[in-house]
């Protein structure tokens, strides 16, 4: 495997914000769940971030609440690149059995998906892995440097369990090999509880008889004696399959090392999954697992928790079929701070669509704008100050709502300058460059000026001649023809302007 420093993806950007002739340094601060506060980001290796993000369980389509977390990971990654860090990103694919209930009990999700669709679990895993990757591509999410499947790393998981066994952290009962949480003094530190009674028991299937402590969790589950599973492997303890948590520890340490920079997931991972990842990893190595733990809040739908088990969820495909654009869905998901719950409504998505349409209209307006005015120093100062405001908001724990406020202010001030005919060519270039620079983090504008057909331009000229000749009835008829062609003509002090309907 190539060294991480040679494998990072993405464009590098400047950490400093240019303000006039000065360079302003604004450190990146992130909320670390482990310490319950924002901390300035410090890397283990110089300017290199080793990042692990929890991936999907591929037994069904990801719902839009799942995808909110992946948009958050993407914004984090883009922000790191914008701040001139190199990023080596690893994400897992859970393609081995995973249980349906919040308490880690019940049916195997992969087996359930296979039964539902009359396919093998391997076919289910392959199909929904591909579907997930298609969804992330549609949402302009930068792919991880390494996407690793749990089923491809059974050997590494078994080796990690063996290491824990050698160090005395395991015991065996009838249904599998378990981690003894009483052997670890600081078990549960991520969840911020002072006693193990405050944590949720984490077993892979039903709570097993013989567990020494309620919080002990399965490292390796034995296959049922009266039933052959589709996914099972031999081990020194017996034929079976890995526990839920062991895959992330094994794969993270294989590709990122025993101690790395950032680990991300949803808030539901804090009390069980990430708590147990930390326990088994640090018990095995004696080192801190990750320095920073970042967690994304839930996406609700119409005020209720979105959940496949509740049946009140939307997939990306479903929302696209309703007519919403990929960009608008991404914009909606990033528009709320990642540590706040977000409520999905059709009205909210429509507003996101309208907002993006307005931003696209703005970029259409200024792209190729023919201006003859002098350089507007006030607008120039606003544009340069916006760069500082953008970086300040971004580096304050990825405060995207404040980032968007900065962008809307540029739009307002630029439109004002255009209407007052107080804008120069250099102003236009600065605004376009700044908006493009900001979109390297947001990933929603990706603007290309819409070409207006020549025959539509000719109609606009004919309408303008009719208006100047005070033939308003003819001007209105031509306006209708332009509208039928899919364009709206607006009269401004600088002359007619076209935008897509």
Domain ranges in the chain with CATH number 1.10.730.10: 321-442
- Band (pLDDT 50/70/90 cuts) for residue 66 is very high
Counting beta carbons within 10 angstroms of the beta carbon of residue 107, is it exposed (0 to 12), middle (13 to 18) or buried (19 or more)? middle
pLDDT at 464: 87
Helix (H, G, I), strand (E, B) or coil at 244: coil
**Residue 468 neighbours by CB under 8 Å, 6+ apart:** none
Beta-strand pair 304-305/299-301: antiparallel
pLDDT at 225: 81
Compute the average pLDDT of residues 386-393: 96
pLDDT reading at 39 higher than 70: yes
Q: At what angle do helices 346-366 and 400-419 cross, to 10 degrees?
A: 40
What is the percentage of the chain residues whose pLDDT exceeds 70?
A: 87
Radius of gyration, CA atoms only, the chain = 27
Residue 329 has pLDDT above 50, yes or no: yes
CATH 3.40.50.300 is right for the domain spanning 4-38+47-296: no
Over residues 233-248, the pLDDT tens digits come to 999 999 999 998 999 9
**115 has a pLDDT exceeding 90:** no
Q: What pLDDT was estimated at residue 376?
A: 96
**What is the DSSP pairing of strand 240-242 with strand 22-25?**
unpaired
In the chain, where does the domain assigned CATH 3.40.50.620 lie? 4-38+47-296
pLDDT surpassing 80 at residue 377: yes
Rounded distance between C-alpha atoms, residue 356 and residue 334, angstroms: 13
Token look-up 């999700």 returns 109
- Within 395-471, residue ranges assigned H as helices are 400-419, 425-442, 454-468
Nearest to 12 by CA among 58, 49, 67, 52: 49
**pLDDT of the residue at 291:** 98
Q: What is the pLDDT of residues 461-472, one digit of tens each?
A: 899 898 888 888
Comparing 57 with 307, which gets the higher pLDDT? 57
pLDDT of residue 193: 67
Contacts of 184 (CB under 8 A, 6+ apart): 169, 279, 282, 283
Gap between the Cα atoms of 69 and 299, Å rounded: 9
Contact, 69 vs 270, CB < 8 A? no
Which residue reads 């062609």 in tokens? 485
- How many angstroms separate the Cα of 441 from the Cα of each of 35, 41, 349? 27, 18, 21
In the predicted structure, residue 501 carries a pLDDT above the cut 80: no
Residue 430, both tokens? 């600065």
- 124-151 pLDDT, tens digit per residue, is 899 999 999 999 999 999 999 999 999 9
Give the 3-state DSSP-derived string for 17-55, with helices as H, strands as E and coil as C.
Answer: EEECCEEEECCCEEEECCCCEEEECCCCECCEEEEEECC
- Please spell the DSSP secondary structure of 111-150, one letter per residue: HHHHHHHTS-HHHHHHHHHHHHHHHHHHTTPPPPSEEEEG
Q: How confident is the model at residue 348 (pLDDT cuts 50, 70, 90)?
A: very high
Maximum alpha-carbon separation in the chain: 93
CB environment 31-44: b (16+ within 10 A), e (fewer): bbbbeeeebebebe
Judge residue 251's burial from the number of C-beta atoms within 10 Å of its C-beta, 0-12 exposed, 13-18 middle, 19 or more buried.
Answer: buried
The span from the first CA to the last CA of the chain, in angstroms, equals: 51
Give, in order, the Cα–Cα distances in Å from 279 to each of 62, 149, 154, 182. Answer: 28, 22, 19, 11
The pLDDT value recorded for residue 489 is 82
Least confident of 3-17, 213-227, 332-346: 3-17
User: What pLDDT is attached to residue 494?
Assistant: 58
Residue 386 has pLDDT above 90, yes or no: yes
Q: Are 434 and 383 in contact (CB under 8 A)?
A: yes
- The CATH superfamily label for domain 321-442 reads Isoleucyl-tRNA Synthetase; Domain 1 (1.10.730.10)
Angle in degrees, CA 230, 231, 237, rounded to 5: 125
pTM of structure: 0.84
Task: Determine contact, residues 196/187, Cβ cutoff 8 Å.
Answer: yes
Q: Confirm if 191 and 307 have CB atoms less than 8 A apart.
A: no
pLDDT of residue 230: 86
User: Average pLDDT of the chain?
Assistant: 87
Compute CA 500 distance to the chain's CA centroid, rounded to the nearest angstrom: 30
**What is the rounded average pLDDT of the residues 173-201?**
83
């Amino acid at each position: 495997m190539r060294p991480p420093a040679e494998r990072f993806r993405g464009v590098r950007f400047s950490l400093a914000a240019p303000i006039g002739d000065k360079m302003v340094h604004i450190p990146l601060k992130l909320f670390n769940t482990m310490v319950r506060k924002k901390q300035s980001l410090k890397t283990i290796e110089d300017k290199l971030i080793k990042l692990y993000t929890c991936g999907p369980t591929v037994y069904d389509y990801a719902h839009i609440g799942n995808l909110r977390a992946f948009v958050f990971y993407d914004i984090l990654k883009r922000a790191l690149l914008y701040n001139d860090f190199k990023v080596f990103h690893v994400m897992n694919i859970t393609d081995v059995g995973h249980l349906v209930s919040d308490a880690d009990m019940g049916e195997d999700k992969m087996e359930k998906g296979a039964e539902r669709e009359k396919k093998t679990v391997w076919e289910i895993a392959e199909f929904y892995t591909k579907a997930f990757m298609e969804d992330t591509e549609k949402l302009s999410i930068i792919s991880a440097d390494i996407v690793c499947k749990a089923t491809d790393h059974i050997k590494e998981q078994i080796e990690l369990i063996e290491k824990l066994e050698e160090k005395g952290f395991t015991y065996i009962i009838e249904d599998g090999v378990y981690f003894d949480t009483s052997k670890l003094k600081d078990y549960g530190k991520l969840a911020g509880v002072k006693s193990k009674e405050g944590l949720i028991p984490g077993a892979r299937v039903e709570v097993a008889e013989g567990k020494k402590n309620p919080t002990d969790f399965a490292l390796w589950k034995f296959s049922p004696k009266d039933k052959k599973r589709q996914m099972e492997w031999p081990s020194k303890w017996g034929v079976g399959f890995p526990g839920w948590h062991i895959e992330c520890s094994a794969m993270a340490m294989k590709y990122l090392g025993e101690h790395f920079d950032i680990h991300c997931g949803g808030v539901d991972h804090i009390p069980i999954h990430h708590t147990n990842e930390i326990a088994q990893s640090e018990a095995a190595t004696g080192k801190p697992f990750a320095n920073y733990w970042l967690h994304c809040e839930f996406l609700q739908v119409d005020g209720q928790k979105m959940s496949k088990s509740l049946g009140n969820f939307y997939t990306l495909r479903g929302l696209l079929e309703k007519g919403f654009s990929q960009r608008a869905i991404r914009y909606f998901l990033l528009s709320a701070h990642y540590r706040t719950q977000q409520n999905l409504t059709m009205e909210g998505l429509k507003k996101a669509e309208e907002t993006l349409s307005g931003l696209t209209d703005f970029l259409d307006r200024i792209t190729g704008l023919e201006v003859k005015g002098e350089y507007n120093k006030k607008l120039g100062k606003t544009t340069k100050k916006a760069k500082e405001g953008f970086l300040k908001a971004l580096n304050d724990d990825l405060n995207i709502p404040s980032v968007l406020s900065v962008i809307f202010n540029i739009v307002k001030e630029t439109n004002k300058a255009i209407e007052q005919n107080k804008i120069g060519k250099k102003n236009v270039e600065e605004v376009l460059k700044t908006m493009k620079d900001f979109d390297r983090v947001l990933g929603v504008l990706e603007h290309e000026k819409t070409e207006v057909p020549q025959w539509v331009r000719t109609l606009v000229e004919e309408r303008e001649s009719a208006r100047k000749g005070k033939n308003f009835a003819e001007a209105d008829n031509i306006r209708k023809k332009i509208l039928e062609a899919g364009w709206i003509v607006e009269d401004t002090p600088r002359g007619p302007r076209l935008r897509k309907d």
